[in-house]
Amino acid sequence: MNTKSIHKILLGLSLISLSVVGCKKDFLNVEPTDRISTTTIESDTSVLEAYVTNRYIGTRLQDKEADGSAPGFGRGFEYSMWSSYTDESVYNNDDFTWLIQRGQLAPENLGSAGVYWGRSYKSIRECNYALGVLAKIAMSTTHKKQLIAELKFVKAFRYQDLIRNYGGVVLMGDKVTNLTDNLQDPALFQRATIKESIDYTVNQLDEAAADLPQDNSGSWLPGRATKGAALALKSRLLLYAASPLYNAGTWEAAAAAAQAVIALNKYKIYDGGYENLFLNDLNNDEIIFARLFTKNANHTHLEIANGPNGYGGWGGNLPMQNLVDDYEMTNGKAISDPTSGYDSNQPYKDRDPRFAATILYNGAAYRERNIETFIPGGKDSKDGIDNWNTTKTGYYLKKFMNKAYPLQNPWGNAGFQPWIYFRYAEILLNYAEAANEAYGPDAVPAGSTMSARQAINMVRARSGVNMPALAVGLTQSQMRDAVRYERRVELAFEEHRYYDVRRWKIADVTENKPAGGMIITKTGNTFTYTPKVALDGRKFETKHYWLPIPRAEILASGGKLQQNPGY
C-alpha cells in the first residue's frame, strides 16, 4: 500500500499528520499559509496554549456540519441529537438515526455514529503531541502542570467516548504514531479489556484532578476543565464500570467517586427553575463542565431546527410517546397506577413539571399562542403550514429552546445556550445509584453525609419541580426503579439515555418497543387521543450493546484490530 493510501485509510488510530503541521522537508519548500507550523507551536507559548485549548473543540474526521461547526465532545447541539438514537425521540428528517433505531447499522454503514473511533484517536494523538512539546518548552512550573493536567483530562474524555461506545479500546499511552512507524506492528492494534481501559482513564483523571484549578478564573476561562470536571468524569466512568454491561468495577468505588465531587462543596442544584437551567451559562452553580458558545457562533440554531412547523420550525427531534408516558403525576405516582388520578382525556394535566419544561404538547403555551398538534386544522399539525416538517409523534422539543430568540429569524441569535457535559444533578444521581447498589436505600456510607434516598430527593425538590420526596423504607429494587426514573426524566435529551439502557442491559426491552406517538383529533371542543406508531421497525439485538468499529479501521490494521462481536 502506498503512503497516499495509508494516509487516506488510517483515520482511526490517528496515524495521520497533525491538523496543524510543519514541513520538515517540503517538496516545494513552501511554508503553508493556511495552518500553523509545528515550529511555531513548539517555540511560542501563547500559540501552544491556544493549541491546547482548541483540543476541547476538536473536529470530526468527516461529515462536518454544513456551517462548518464542530461538535466537541459528543454530539450535543446537532440537528439530529443523540436522543434520536434512543426511546426519547425520533428525528424528523432521518439523518441516519433511523438506521440505529431499526438495528441496521453495520461496520460499513454507520452514518453519523461512525465518527467516534477516528476523531477520538485523532484527538488523543494531538494531546500526546502537545504533552511532548510541554515537556521541552520553557514555562512556569505551575502553569505547565495545569496545561499537562488539562491535556490529560481531554485525553480521558476521548477515552470515555471510546469506552462507552466500543468497550475495551486500544490504549496509546503517550505515544505519537507517525506514518513512518511500523504500521504492521500487531501491538499497535491490541485492544485492552474494559477494566484495563477504565483503569487507565481513571488514572489519567486522578493525575489531572491533582493539578487542575478549582475554579475558572483569570486566564482559566469558563469552559476549561477544573478539578470538579475531572472528578465528575471519573464519577461517570466508575458508575459505568460497576454496571452490569461493564462488570469492571465496584459500586462502592462509584459511590466514593461521586462523593468526592459532592465533598468539594462547590456545586448545588440550580434554584432558577429546571427550564432556565439550560438557557443560562452564568451564575449557575449546578454546571460543572460545559461547552460555551458566543453569539453568532457556528452551531445548530436550536429554535428553528426543533421548532413546531406552525411557527416555521423544522420539527427536528420529536419526543416519543414512550418518554411522555414515563413522566409521573405530580403526586409521584405512575400514570399506570389506578390511584394516580391520571385522566386519559386530559393526559398532560398534573404531570411531573419537568414534562412541560421538556416537551411541547397539544395545548402547551408557547410563544404567542398554544401548541396545536390536533387534526383537523391544527396549526402545528399536518394541516398547518409547511407540513413537510410536521411532528411524527404529536410532540415537539422544548428543552434547550430559548423563547427570547426569534424563531423565524434565528441566525443572529444562536450561541447562548451552553451544552452541559456534567452537572450536579447527574452527580447526585450517580451517587444515589451506586450507594443504593452498595449499601441500600437509606444507609449513609462512611465518609458521606447522605443516603441514596436523600440524594434523589435533592433532585426532586428542585425549585419549580417539587416532586414528592421518596419515603424511607423502600427496598433496594424499588430504589433502583426510582433512580432509573429520575435519570430518565431529569437527564432527558442530555445524551444519557442511550448509554444508561445499555449499561443496565435493558436496551433489549426499551429499544425493541415501537416508537410511540399520539394522534389528537378535535371534535368541537373535545379532544380524542389515539396512540400511533411514529417510526416502524425499531429493532435491537445483543450485538448492538456496542457500536461496531468502522470497517475502514479493521482493513487499515490488516485485520489485526479486533471487531466487536456480532459484526
SS3 track for 336-386: CCCCCCCCCCCCCCCECHHHHHHEECCCCEECCEECCCCECCCCCCCCCCC
pLDDT of residue 165: 97
The answer to whether residue 7 scores a pLDDT higher than 70 is no
Of the CA atoms within 13 Å of residue 241, those in its CB half-sphere come to: 26
pLDDT score for 280: 76
Going from the C-alpha of 252 to that of each of 248, 432, 481, the distances in angstroms are 12, 11, 19
pLDDT at 546 over 50: yes
List pLDDT tens digits, range 334-372: 999 999 999 999 999 999 999 999 999 999 999 999 999
Residue 207 confidence class, pLDDT cut points 50, 70, 90: very high
Q: Mean pLDDT check: name the lowest of 177-181, 277-281, 283-287, 437-441.
A: 177-181
Can you tell me the distance from the alpha carbon of 97 to that of 111, in angstroms, rounded to the nearest whole number?
Answer: 8
First and final C-alpha spacing in the chain: 26
pLDDT band at residue 406 using 50, 70 and 90 as cut-offs: confident
Please compute the mean of the pLDDT values over residues 462-490 and round it to a whole number: 98
Sign of dihedral through CA atoms 320, 325, 326, 332? positive
Q: Determine the average pLDDT of the residues in 114-121.
A: 89
Q: Mean pLDDT, to the nearest integer, of 526-530?
A: 98
**Which is more confidently placed, 405 or 543?**
543
- Among left, alpha and beta (phi > 0; psi -120 to 50; other), residue 63 is left
Give the per-residue pLDDT at 547.
Answer: 96
Tell me: pLDDT of 29 over 80: no
Q: What percent of the chain shows pLDDT beyond 90?
A: 73
Q: Residue 530: enclosing H or E segment and its boundaries? A: strand 526-535
Distance separating alpha carbons of residues 200 and 119, to the nearest angstrom: 19
Mean pLDDT is lowest, of 173-182, 308-317, 402-411, for: 402-411
Sequence-distant (≥ 6) Cβ neighbours of residue 469 within 8 angstroms: 457, 460, 461
Query: How do residues 34-79 score in pLDDT, each as one tens digit?
Result: 456 778 888 778 889 989 998 987 643 333 433 334 456 767 888 8
Q: Where do we find the cell 456551517?
A: 67
Cα separation, 442 vs 454, in Å, equals 8
- Joined together, the cell numbers standing for residue 12 give 482511526
pLDDT surpassing 80 at residue 319: yes
